[in-house]
Chain A
Amino acid sequence: MVLVVSFLMISLPSMVSAAAKPIVLGIPTSFFQPLCKSGKLAVEMAIDEINAQGGIFVKEEGVKRPLSLVSADTRCGEPGTPVQSALMTVDKMITEEKPDAIVIAPFRSEAMVATMDLIAKYKIITLQTIAQTPKLIEIFKGDPEKYKYWFRATTNSTYVGTTAAMTIDSLRKQFKYDKLFLIPQDTIWARAAADATKAKLEGFGWKAMGYEPVAVGTNDFSPVLSKARTSGTQMLYVVGDMPTLPVCFKQWKSMKIPTMLFLDFAVVTSTKAWGTYGEDLDYVLVMPFPGGTGAPVKALPKSMEFHNRWKEKKYPLMDDPRVVSSAYDAVYILKDAIERAGFVPSKNPDKFVSFVEATDMMGVSGRIKFDKSTHQQMFNGNPKETSIIVAYQWRAGKMVPVYPELVAEAKIELAPWMK
């Protein structure tokens, strides 16, 4: 009898939990894009961790509810997919699958901008973790009451651009460098990124020695690299996403261009990149965002946990680690808000908004807090205050955190042919 009672006492809570209706998270995004695929894995990892503990305790219901996941491919990361098609996919998911909240959300900024109205229409709490455009904040600010269900639980392009510029500027302090040469891919987004970096660095006292957009498909960068060499520049900033861009950093090394190289190119921000490109990456500066997503940072304990668990799960190395950790954190932000609110987001989304706004917890990139006036996750250089973005330098197969100083594990080193 004692054994039976003991068994019931131990197993009852988990039996209740198993029987409880799951809290459904929806991921409508473009699975053609590697960062979306990895983002989904990160969400699944967080869900597995939470479910292993019995789920999320919902106070009003007095039970622990497990999490489950539904996903839909918006295909908005594939060439030629119209925004309307992505919107229909999101709409279908919300109306048919009825998720309690959305995480990750559409890939392309245009699709995300259009999705804002769907989020408002269906009043569905959304922790968006990919699109970086400042336009989303503009839309939110245009009608905060209407768009209050939207939160950007990751960086935005302003934070990313500023941190890139500040990383480069740290070379001015360390090596007295002040000459910059920019090579953007000749596309609107890459030129915009280069323009913003140039403007910021000029503001810090840097001099732009050259600005050379290269056509998509360029497979020989020797002319622009030669120009950079003769211009007397000390810092190269290269930005793009075209398949031939690896030729650029390979030539930077083989031609022994006497500059440091900051590469704004997602593929080389993952630890997987060393397996592909090897020592050609040595001394290159990279910046996956947010902090800790590309490689662990000792000063960000959650980033160590995140990467260890990724390994334990035997997930494939990420092709593109950008914002993947944000997808993971988004699930924990929801868990935290549900536990504080005592109800699930879909029960009373209007009321639930304030619980997400009040988020204050540690995540992979540091302390997660939202700016109530923009619903944007806050970032600065101190992980104890807000989240951060970290720049790394490739050294002998490792991504070594070098900026910001508070979390840096080493100083930036010059390439050997520069010494």
Chain B
Amino acid sequence: MDILIYGITNSVTLALMAIGFSLTFGISGLANFAHGAFFLLGGILTWIFINQLGIPFFLSALISIALVGLLGFGLYWGLMLRLRGLAINEVIATLAAAIVIIEVLRYLGFSGFTYVLPEFIKGSVQIGKSWLDYQRIFLVAIGIALIIFLYIFTHRTKIGLSFRAIAQNERTAISLGIDSDWTAALSLSFGSALAVVAGLAILPLGSIDTQMGYDILISALAVGIVGGLESIPGIVIASIILGFGQIIVATFFKAQWQTVVTLAAIVIILAVKPSGIFGKYKELEERV
């Protein structure tokens, strides 16, 4: 029972970490290596609003999501616009932005174990013979709600449809009057905001540490590589594979091998299907 329950929570945690990264990449083709830094920044901003300014949690969370979303938007207009299409330069620029954010936060002392976000509700509930804390239940609910929201958003709203149009064929989308740069900037903004949402759900489980800025990026990349960087269904499937894989390996073998699951999955996927399970980014090249 523990394997089922914690396999699900672990899978949803991984999906939350990766979904913003995937959304941005899927729409604009931009690999946002500052994704982990935004996750961290959102957590720290929320902590500051709650503990230094006395703003209630949910308002703090909304302000952080908005601010980091704006920062993502600003990152596109201020920097990425000039590098559009130069994949390596985009990676270097976003990675540099990540390092600046993370290291400035480290310099300012946001390291260690002091910074903890409140759980939505404390306590746990018994499911069969297992116990599960409410925070993880919320986390799963947020994860599922987010995936449903993204589906509806990209299929039923004007902005969402323009996202998909750009993702499918940028030139055709432009010819239909869709502003490609505006849409790409929005996608980076959305992806950044989603990183904060993930942080607000995940961070109350432990404490905030600047190192997480790098760790989250690696987890998001791992899920993306396995599932297909631009594919939301791929992210879901990859999260389930990795999430359950980690729990099963830790349960039936040794916990220290948990990290090997992720690395092994990346190696296998890159060898067999470099675009990932649902990825189509280089599918044609792969076939050739």
Contacts and interface: CB of A to CB of B under 8 A. Distances in A.
Nearest to B253: A223
Interface string B258-279: 1100000000000000000000
B113 A223 contact: no
Given A224-B255, A255-B131, A267-B112, A247 B205 contact: yes
A220 B10 contact: yes
A214 B256 contact: yes
B9 interface: yes
Interface string B1-33: 011011001100100000000000000000000
Contact of A254 (B13, B132, B211, B250): B132
Interface string B121-159: 011100000111100000000000000000000000000
Contact of B251 (A34, A223, A255, A279): A223
Interface in A238-257: 243-247, 250-251, 253-256
Contacts of A309: none
A276 B114 contact: yes
Contacts of B112: 34, 267, 319
Interface string A190-211: 0000000000000000000000
Interface residue SS majority, chain B:
helix
Determine the interface band of chain B, counting residues with CB < 8 A from chain A: 35 or more
Nearest to B123: A254
B286 interface: no
B55 interface: no
Given A223-B251, A254-B132, A319 B114 contact: yes
Given A226-B2, A243-B113, A246-B113, A213 B124 contact: no
Contacts of A319: 112-114
Given A212-B255, A250-B205, A223 B250 contact: yes
A267 B122 CA distance: 21
Interface of B: 2-3, 5-6, 9-10, 13, 112-114, 116, 122-124, 130-133, 202, 205-207, 209, 211-212, 215, 246-247, 250-251, 254-259
Given A220-B13, A243-B209, 12 more contacts: A186-B256, A212-B255, A213-B254, A215-B257, A217-B259, A222-B9, A223-B250, A226-B6, A226-B130, A251-B133, A276-B114, A279-B122
30 contacts: A183-B255, A186-B256, A212-B254, A213-B254, A214-B255, A215-B255, A215-B257, A215-B259, A217-B215, A219-B205, A220-B9, A222-B2, A222-B247, A223-B2, A223-B3, A223-B247, A223-B251, A226-B2, A226-B130, A243-B206, A246-B116, A246-B206, A246-B207, A250-B133, A254-B123, A255-B130, A256-B131, A276-B114, A277-B116, A279-B122
